[in-house]
Structure 1
Amino acid sequence: MEREWFLLKLALLQGAGIITKWRILEYAQKHQYFNFTAKEVQPLLSRKCDSFVFYNDWNFLTQEVLQQKLNGQKYVTLDSPLYPKRLKEIYQPPFALFYEGNILLLQQEKIIGFVGSRNVSPYGKEIVKKFVPPLTNRGYTIASGLAKGVDSCSHLTAMQSFGQTIGVVGCGLDICYPKEVFTIYWEMLKNQLVISEYPYGTPVRKYHFPMRNRIIAGISQAVCVVEAKAKSGSLTTAQLALDTGKEVFAFPGDILNGRSTGCLQLIQDGAKCVISLKDILEELPNFE
């Protein structure tokens, strides 16, 4: 129980990034002690840490304060049996996942990520509408980032085909970003699953999105990339999936308009080019 509160403290702690927080956890695990003072862990802080914010937060986040802050929030920590095993395999996974909806979806073996452009074209939407329903009909849960474009289209299509879907967001679950996806977001809170490594009240920050992407890659068995430009967050998700030995599928597109340059680069780099559903299924376990 002492370690669980330590994990939650690290999850809520401000003034330090994930690398420093993991350094602190590894230090605590080595010594099997979880009641360090801020001064005792000071040597572990990186130069990028905001030491003033860190010290204040470290001293402020007592177990009593954590209980108050977490009141009304649903969460699983790294040590929980409900924490997804696949996510533990990534480098420096989240200390805790905050969630709304059906947490048991994270226990599904067959989870496939769908990511891509926020400015999805009619072609991109048609790809999602063609490939997501037969995947959900075969028991695959669709994971994505609840952004505009390919993400929200993937979530919506999964629900319209009576399938299951998981949304991963880069802010507190009491904030819907972007506002354009509110209807989908609200439906998923009630009947699907939305997760975040950030507690209530955490605003949107630019650096939260690559952090979110590592979770999408982490919980997924494979990742499909639809209409990604040359410099796209979707490529980060794809690379993270490749780094953990997972399959990455990319859909080809027009070489002239730039919308699919990232997908075409992925194909050149070894991602599987998808032109039919069989191209995906034959690379996954239990192909029928």
Structure 2
Amino acid sequence: MELTDTEKRLLALHYVFPVPLNRLNRLYEKDPNLEKLYTYRAKELVDLLNISLAKAIQLKENLQQNIMTPYDKLYERHAITPIPFSNPYYPDKLRVLIDPPAVLYTKGDQRLLIEPIKIAIIGSRKATAYSERAMSLIVPPLVQNEIVIVSGLAKGADTIAHKSAIEFGGKTIAVLGHGLFHLYPKENQGLAKEMAKNQLLLTEYPPYVKPERWTFPMRNRIISGLSDAVVITESADKSGTMSTVEHALDHGKDIFAVPGPITSELSAGPNKLLDEGAKPVWNGFQIVETLFSYY
């Protein structure tokens, strides 16, 4: 993937200052092509990036130390394809976020990003066999209609969603809460490596960034942002799954919830969403009919 000189300068900045695009707005307004990136004084960076003077001094030093580093070539050696916000492969759905990723780092089939319809399937890390049975009814019709399945590669429901998409011959995208040098959780390293070949791994973090508590809530906005609708299988009332739903609701996405037994704590989240107006789902054709009515 060919990158412009401006995009290469963004890669250099993002490597040492990995923030969402809205944090760079003032910089781009002053310098749309980032031509002065290496010549700004620290005090100018304080104003342009809204950071402390100490951070600005450190940032300037880091940029100067790596001024000759060909980040695009380094990523290529590791089969990582960076997709800056200005690139044609960057999904339009992410541009409407308040804080869109400045760069997406990908491994696998980047063409999945330009597929027209994507569905997020999410749920509890403690998902039971009930989620697996539900997905056996929901995923096949989606795959038959060439809908890409999006999830977060976490244990439980995410893992079932990715594996179901692959098992039924479909395509799937995993949105990670860390850089591509750190595959997490360990139980899913085999799945991640398989997806890096034939599916797609995606993250907004440079490869060296390790998983942290705060990185996973951030990635949830990308899961919902990429998707036309969100499906919840099992979830506690308060969880990361529900935060993804909140992001989706903020952008007018359809929410589908799998009804569950009132005796199950993991059905509390979906059942509450149903009470609040989410669409009940027990078959993937219900989702297909809803989405295709929009096109």
What is residue 25 of structure 2 aligned with on the other side?
26
- CA-based RMSD: 2.3
Cα separation, partners in 2 of 1:164 and 1:28, compared to 1, 3 Å: same
Cα separation, partners in 2 of 1:8 and 1:162, compared to 1, 3 Å: same
**What is the aligned-residue identity percentage?**
35
Question: Is the 2:141–2:288 Cα contact (8 Å) retained in structure 1?
Answer: no
Gaps of 5+ in 2: none
Gaps of 5+ in 1: none
What is residue 233 of structure 2 aligned with on the other side?
226
User: What displacement does 1:277 show?
Assistant: 2.9
What is residue 42 of structure 2 aligned with on the other side?
38
Question: Is the 2:141–2:285 Cα contact (8 Å) retained in structure 1?
Answer: no
Question: Is the 1:109–1:221 Cα contact (8 Å) retained in structure 2?
Answer: no
Secondary structure, counterpart of 1:143 in structure 2: strand
Query: Does the alignment pair 1:98 with 2:105?
Result: yes
Cα separation, partners in 2 of 1:271 and 1:63, compared to 1, 3 Å: farther
What is residue 203 of structure 1 aligned with on the other side?
210
Stretch of structure 1 that moved more, 157-166 or 59-68: 59-68
- Distance in 2 separating the partners of 1:41 and 1:287: 45
Cα separation, partners in 2 of 1:130 and 1:275, compared to 1, 3 Å: closer
Residues 74-123 of structure 1: CA distance to partner in whole angstroms, max 9, x if unpaired? 21100001111111121111000111100010000111100100011111
Cα separation, partners in 2 of 1:228 and 1:142, compared to 1, 3 Å: same
- Distance in 2 separating the partners of 1:54 and 1:198: 20
User: What displacement does 1:17 show?
Assistant: 5.2
- Distance in 2 separating the partners of 1:113 and 1:158: 11
What is residue 68 of structure 2 aligned with on the other side?
64
2:14 to 7, 11, 17: 11
Residues 228-287 of structure 1: CA distance to partner in whole angstroms, max 9, x if unpaired? 111111111111111111111111112222112111222222221213334322321358
When the two structures are aligned, how many residues end up with a matched partner? 282
- Distance in 1 separating the partners of 2:235 and 2:13: 34
Question: Is the 2:118–2:150 Cα contact (8 Å) retained in structure 1?
Answer: yes
Secondary structure, counterpart of 1:39 in structure 2: helix
Secondary structure, counterpart of 1:213 in structure 2: helix
Give the TM-score of the pair, scaled to structure 1.
0.89
Give the TM-score of the pair, scaled to structure 2.
0.87
Residues 141-191 of structure 1: CA distance to partner in whole angstroms, max 9, x if unpaired? 101000111101110111111110101101111211001112211110111
